[in-house]
């Protein structure tokens, strides 16, 4: 029943994207491909943060793993596109097992710190082992539209289809996972670990599993990024990327897959739009260069003030839809805090 509903929604979305891709300009196609990358990465992260109550500031590093896996597999083994995506996802998932096993022992700021370390350290491996990873300039990935579509078929439209299609499949899978027994168990662990453990749930395994899912999504997103930008280089996977992913998840609405879409739209479209405004108003170059960054910050602040539960939460409130109790925003934010202080419970009682 839920599966049918999710697939139905995905088919509607696919039709909308198809119409957009054929009617808008090539650059818009390119942006669709760009947004799809962020949707996949943020959807994985929002499941981790919103459902399982863990945080990761290092998903940019998993994107790097997926992206480099794609480039290396294509370069050395000549694998086709349809094999690169699952392979890169799997490789990032394996990395997620390793990190997740360590991460499951950490909570709150310690977990954030450990994953941040990953985001900082991992990209510099590319320059340390430049023989394998191509150093600063990275590796190239080549992609062509299938010959069956004709010679004149725009490559950007093909990339938009590939990336958007992949993103929709991921969203359907994640939506079902969230509604499954695993998803419910994650929420139980998030809301009260002790109670979940008493109820017979294997807390550590569930936490690691959430980490793997999020790493796999990030790896797939990295692979999509490598394909649509036809290159991989360490400059693309800085700490800023990892922070941007968390930003997108928070802005969109933690734990909500629709929120992942809103977050991606903000991350991709706001800076481009603001740059266009800034340059078209003839501002001095030093000012114009920094305006997108300032405006982006202002948008973030505005969204957080107007929609403390993220855009999806705001939409739900606006249209009078009550969020499903289990994924309610307040429990979610509390869950991030809850682990660390047993004292907080006491405080709540005393006040």
Partner 1 sequence: MNRSHRVRTPAIVAAAAAVAMIAAGCGGSSGSSSSSSSSGAATASAPGITATQILIGSHQPLTGPAAPGYSEIAPAANAYFQYVNAHGGIHGRKIKYTYLDDGYDPSKTVSDVHQLVLQDNVYAIFNGLGTPTHLAAVSFLNSSKVPDVFVASGCDCWNDPSKYPQTFGWQLDYIREGKILGAYIKQHFAGKKIGYFYQNDEFGQDGVKGLDYEIPKGQVVSRQTYVPPTDVNVGPQVAALKASGAQVVVSFAIPAWNALFKLTSLKLGFSPTLVASNVGTDPITLGGLLEAYAKKGGATVNGNQLTQDIITDYYLPAVGNTGNSWIALFKKVHDTYDAKAPFDGNVLYGEAAAYAFVQAMMKAGKNPTRADLVNAINAGLPQGPAVAPYAYSSTDHDGITGAYIGVIKNGALVQQGPVYVTDATPTGAVTAYTGSEQAAPASGMP
- Say whether residue 344 binds partner 1 (CB under 8 A): no
13 or 24: CB nearest partner 1: 24
Judged by beta carbon, residue 51 or residue 266, the one nearer partner 1 is 266
* Residue 314 lies near partner 1 (rule: CB under 8 A): yes
Are 274 and 97 contacting, i.e. CB atoms less than 8 angstroms apart? no
Q: Which two tokens stand for residue 267?
A: 């991350």
Number of residues that bind partner 1 (CB under 8 A): 51
Among 38, 68, 158, 307, binds partner 1 (CB under 8 A): 307
Q: Are 146 and 89 in contact (CB under 8 A)?
A: no
Minimal distance in Å, beta carbon 231 to partner 1?
4
Which is nearer to partner 1, 144 or 350 (by Cβ)?
144
Residue 252 interacts with partner 1 (CB under 8 A): yes or no = no
CB 252 within 8 A of CB 311: yes
For residue 231, report the phi and psi dihedrals to the nearest 5 degrees: -165, 160
Positions 73 through 102 that interact with partner 1 (CB under 8 A): none
> Contacts with partner 1 in 283-302 (CB under 8 A)?
284-286, 289-290, 292-293, 299, 302
Give the list of residues 6+ apart from residue 96 with CB closer than 8 angstroms, or none.
Answer: 62, 211, 212, 213, 214, 215, 216, 219
The interface with partner 1 within residues 212-241 (CB under 8 A) comprises: 225, 229-231, 233, 235-236, 238
In the complex, what is the shortest distance from the CB of residue 91 to partner 1, in angstroms, rounded to a whole number? Answer: 20
DSSP conformational letter for 201: -
Q: Is 242 in the site for partner 1 (CB under 8 A)?
A: no
- In angstroms, rounded to a whole number, what is the distance separating the alpha carbons of residues 68 and 202? 33
Work out how close the CB of 103 gets to partner 1 at its nearest, in angstroms, rounded to a whole number: 24
Q: Of these, 34, 35, 207, 211, which contacts partner 1 (CB under 8 A)? A: 34
Tokens of 60: 């940019």
Cα angle value 76/78/80 (rounded, 5°)? 140
Question: Using CB under 8 A, which of the segments 164-172, 204-212, 304-312, 332-340 binds partner 1?
Answer: 304-312
Among residue numbers 142 through 171, which ones bind partner 1 (CB under 8 A)? 142, 156
By CB under 8 A, residue 19 contacts partner 1: no
What is the C-alpha to C-alpha distance for residues 278 and 41, in angstroms, rounded to an integer? 29
Phi, psi of 307 (to 5 degrees): -125, 80
CA distance 95 to 105: 17
Q: Which of 257, 268, 301, 232 is nearest to 64 (CA)?
A: 232
Among 128, 202, 340, 346, binds partner 1 (CB under 8 A): 128
Give yes or no for residue 109 binding partner 1 (CB under 8 A). Answer: no
In the bound complex, what is the minimum distance in angstroms from residue 318's beta carbon to partner 1?
Answer: 5
Nearer to partner 1, 44 or 222 (CB): 222
Q: How many CB atoms lie within 10 A of CB 143?
A: 16
CB atoms within 10 A of CB 176: 16
> What Cα–Cα distance (Å) separates residue 27 from each residue in 13, 112, 143, 154?
20, 36, 17, 11
Rounded alpha-carbon distances, angstroms, from residue 288 to 98, 274, 292, 333 = 43, 10, 7, 36
Contact between 18 and partner 1 per CB under 8 A: no
Could you say whether residue 322 binds partner 1 (CB under 8 A)?
no
**Which residues bind to partner 1, rule: CB under 8 A?**
24-28, 30, 34, 124, 127-128, 130, 135-138, 140, 142, 156, 225, 229-231, 233, 235-236, 238, 265-266, 269, 272-273, 275-276, 279, 284-286, 289-290, 292-293, 299, 302-303, 306-307, 311, 314-315, 317-318
């Amino acid at each position: 029943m839920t599966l049918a509903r999710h697939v139905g929604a995905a088919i509607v979305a696919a039709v909308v994207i198809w119409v957009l891709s054929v009617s808008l300009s090539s650059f818009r196609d390119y942006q669709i491909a760009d947004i799809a990358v962020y949707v996949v990465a943020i959807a994985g992260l929002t499941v981790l943060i919103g459902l399982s109550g863990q945080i990761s500031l290092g998903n940019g590093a998993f994107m790097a793993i997926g992206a480099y896996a794609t480039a290396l597999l294509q370069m050395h083994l000549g694998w086709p596109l349809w094999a690169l995506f699952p392979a890169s996802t799997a490789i990032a998932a394996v990395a997620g097992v390793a990190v997740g096993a360590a991460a499951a022992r950490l909570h709150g700021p310690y977990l954030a710190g450990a994953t941040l370390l990953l985001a900082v350290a991992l990209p510099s491996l590319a320059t340390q082992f430049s023989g394998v990873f191509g150093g600063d300039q990275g590796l190239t990935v080549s992609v062509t539209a299938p010959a069956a579509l004709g010679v004149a078929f725009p490559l950007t439209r093909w990339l938009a289809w590939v990336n958007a299609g992949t993103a929709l499949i991921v969203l359907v899978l994640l939506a079902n996972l969230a509604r499954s027994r695993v998803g419910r168990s994650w929420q139980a662990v998030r809301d009260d670990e002790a109670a979940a453990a008493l109820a017979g749930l294997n807390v550590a395994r569930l936490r690691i599993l959430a980490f793997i899912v999020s790493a796999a999504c990030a790896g797939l997103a990295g692979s999509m990024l490598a394909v649509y930008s036809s290159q991989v280089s360490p400059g693309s996977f800085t700490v800023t990327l990892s922070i941007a992913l968390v930003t997108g998840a928070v802005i969109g609405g933690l734990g909500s897959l629709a929120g992942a879409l809103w977050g991606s739209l903000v991350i991709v479209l706001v800076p481009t739009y603001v740059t266009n405004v800034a340059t078209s108003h003839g501002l001095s170059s030093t000012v114009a260069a920094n305006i997108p960054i300032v405006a982006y910050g202002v948008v973030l602040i505005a969204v957080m003030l107007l929609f403390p539960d993220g855009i999806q939460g705001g939409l739900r409130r606006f249209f009078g839809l009550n969020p499903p109790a289990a994924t309610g925003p307040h429990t979610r934010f509390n869950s991030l805090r809850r682990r660390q202080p047993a004292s907080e419970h006491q405080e709540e009682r005393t006040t």
